[in-house]
């Protein structure tokens, strides 16, 4: 295992949902840890250590459950996404040698809009979002737009 593989493994373990699940797993192990049989313990204060271990396990369980819940609700996802998209929300020109020459919108599918009307087709939701965002960027930047996409199976009109 090289450094890149190790980096990918550590990043995977620290990102949701792996981190909350790891906390839950370690917490369960600590809570379920059994004391050694009577007379076999070399530590005179074993029950106190068990109580501390169980408390730590319950704390990790609670923290894991809380993080799992927070990672699964919409407002937290929106907050995290907003922080990531903050730099992408406004179009800023770059240096001339690296400036974009066009906006390319990739197709993502279209569907038949009515069972009784075979000529009525529309873009899927994801494709429509790409088209709207591409139009917004084109309006701001003044760049030409290229829309790509083939003819989905069973439909007549190409996505582009």
Band of residue 153 on the pLDDT scale cut at 50, 70, 90: low
The total of other beta-carbon atoms located within 10 Å of residue 74's CB is 7
The pLDDT value given to residue 18: 83
Q: Do residues 27 and 61 make contact, with C-beta atoms less than 8 angstroms apart?
A: yes
Band of residue 44 on the pLDDT scale cut at 50, 70, 90: low
Band of residue 136 on the pLDDT scale cut at 50, 70, 90: very high
71 vs 135, which has greater pLDDT?
A: 135
Find the mean pLDDT for residues 104-123: 73
Q: Do residues 146 and 105 make contact, with C-beta atoms less than 8 angstroms apart?
A: yes
Strand partners, 121: 112
């Amino acid at each position: 295992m090289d450094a890149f593989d190790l980096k990918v493994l550590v990043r995977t373990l620290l990102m949701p949902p792996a981190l909350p699940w790891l906390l839950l797993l370690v917490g369960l192990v600590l809570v379920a840890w059994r004391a050694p049989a009577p007379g076999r313990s070399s530590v005179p204060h074993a029950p106190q250590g068990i109580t501390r271990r169980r408390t730590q396990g319950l704390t990790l369980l609670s923290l894991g459950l809380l993080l799992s819940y927070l990672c699964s609700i919409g407002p937290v996802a929106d907050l995290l996404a907003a922080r990531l998209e903050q730099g992408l929300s406004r179009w800023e020109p770059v240096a001339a040698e690296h400036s974009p020459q066009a906006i390319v919108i990739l197709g993502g599918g279209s569907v038949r809009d009515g069972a009784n009307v075979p000529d009525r087709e529309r873009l899927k939701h994801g494709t429509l979002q790409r088209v709207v965002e591409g139009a917004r960027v084109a309006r701001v930047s003044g760049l030409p737009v290229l829309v790509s996409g083939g003819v989905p199976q069973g439909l007549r009109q190409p996505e582009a």
